[in-house]
Structures are given as structure tokens and as C-alpha cells.
Amino acid sequence: MVIHGPNLNLLGEREPEVYGRTTLAEIDALLIEQAQAAGFRAECHQSNHEGEIVELLHRAGREAAAVVLNPGAFTHYSLAIRDAAAALDVPLIEVHLSNVYRREPFRHRSVVAAVATGQISGFGALSYRLAMEAALTLAGGEPA
Ligand code: DQA
């Protein structure tokens, strides 16, 4: 399961100098193809709502082989998302388009990172591809 957090529906038009020009629909299409090539089905969701992301993580815990999560700004303060992530028994890859460690100090802290399997940050749309490769490999599929 792929979960994109708040404001990521605006990808392509939102601060393109930071987040690039690739749209979310383009990213999702690539991820679905990448998963399919490894014998998995990627289900992609975007939500601007913390509780909805919590519920998606609960569902992922029951149904998914791995989770790719970009919590957006929730990364930096949502303990509800962190707790839902901590409850997962499947690999969780935290992903960011931008290199959060090169940006404002408030972005340097991720409350999710300590409960994630790993984190990928700073490669633009490629971050997602790398995150999916990690998720597929950890879930036992063939990396693309
Ligand atoms: C982001 C980084 C966050 O700090 C920011 O709030 C986002 C996107 C990224 O993908 O680079 O919304 O998660």
C-alpha cells in the first residue's frame, strides 16, 4: 500500500522547485507498474486528513505486504500516525521527495522514522521508486 499525506495531491504545481513537476497520478502509475512487474498489486491512496491516514495504516496492517508512506507535514508532529505505523507488522518505508535535512529545522525531525523500517529522502519522484524497490524486496518480490 502506498499512502501520500497532505498536500501531495498538488504535486506538479506545488512549489515545483522543491517537489518537482511530476504529478501524483504519474508517480502512482509508475509505482503500480513497478509493483506489477514484481508480482504485486500496488494500491495508492492520498489523504489530507490525519485520521484517514491512521485508518489506512490499520487496513494496511491487515491487508498489505508492505507500506510506502509519505506523511507530508504530519511527518514532523503526528504521534497518531507514528503510533499507527508502530503497530504495523509489515515493512514500512518512509519516503520524502525533498531532502528534509537540507530544509527548515522543523523538517529535520521525523516522529515516524524511529518506527519505520527505513527512510528515503531527497530524490524527487525517484524517492518513490527507491522506496517501492525496498518495499518489494522486503515483501519477498523481485526488485524491478
Ligand atoms: C515532504 C516533506 C515535508 O516536510 C513536507 O511537509 C511535505 C512533503 C516531502 O515529500 O519532501 O509535504 O514529505
Q: Are 132 and 34 in contact (CB under 8 A)?
A: yes
19 in active site: yes
Per the model's pLDDT, the better-predicted residue between 17 and 29 turns out to be 29
pLDDT 10s digits, 120-141: 999 999 999 999 999 999 998 6
Quick one: pLDDT at residue 142?
A: 60
Q: Please determine, for residue 143, whether its predicted confidence score (pLDDT) is greater than 90.
A: no
Which one is catalytic: 19, 45, 58, 101?
Answer: 19
Which one is catalytic: 96, 101, 108, 128?
Answer: 96
pLDDT 10s digits, 35-54: 999 999 999 999 999 999 99
DSSP 8-state code for residue 104: -
Please, what are the domains in the chain?
A: 2-138 (3.40.50.9100)
Distance CA 133, CA 35 (A): 8
pLDDT 10s digits, 64-93: 999 999 999 999 999 999 999 999 999 999
